[in-house]
Amino acid sequence: MVEIAGPWLVRTLADGSYRGWLALDGSGCVVGGGGVLLCPWPASPKDPCTQRAVILNVYTEPEFRKRGIARQIMLTILASVKEQGLRAVNLHASKEGRHLYEKLGFEDTNEMRLRFQIP
């Protein structure tokens, strides 16, 4: 994964289209993190923004869960998105994360997905 995702991450961090946050424990080890991808998107009458924000990679190491780390990461990401003037943010919720996202005000949408079989 590092070999494939590394160049993308370097490029998108440099151009600002991806921003990431890490949570560290007292010894400086990463115990959680999350990020947001800003994608070009056409404006509409209900939303004049020309970017869409998608939250990605929110994760907390199992032994550090239930301490508010993911919540703090999410609050930080949401504040950043609001500061940039965007009116909405999307994410794909895992079963484990769904409760937190609902508590933060996220609601289900009508999004669908089709995966292609690659030979």
Domains detected in the chain: 19-103 (3.40.630.30)
What tokens appear for 114 in the block? 């089709």
Other beta carbons within 10 Å of 81 = 20
Other beta carbons within 10 Å of 64 = 16
pLDDT in tens, 71-106: 999 999 999 999 999 999 999 999 999 999 999 999
Mean pLDDT of all residues in 53-66 = 96
- Report how far residue 78's alpha carbon sits from residue 103's, in angstroms, rounded to the nearest whole number: 13
The per-residue pLDDT for 112 is 87
Residue 60 pLDDT > 90, yes or no? yes
Mean pLDDT of all residues in 16-39 = 97
The per-residue pLDDT for 111 is 87
Give CA separation, 81 vs 28, 44, 54, in Å.
26, 18, 10
The per-residue pLDDT for 46 is 85
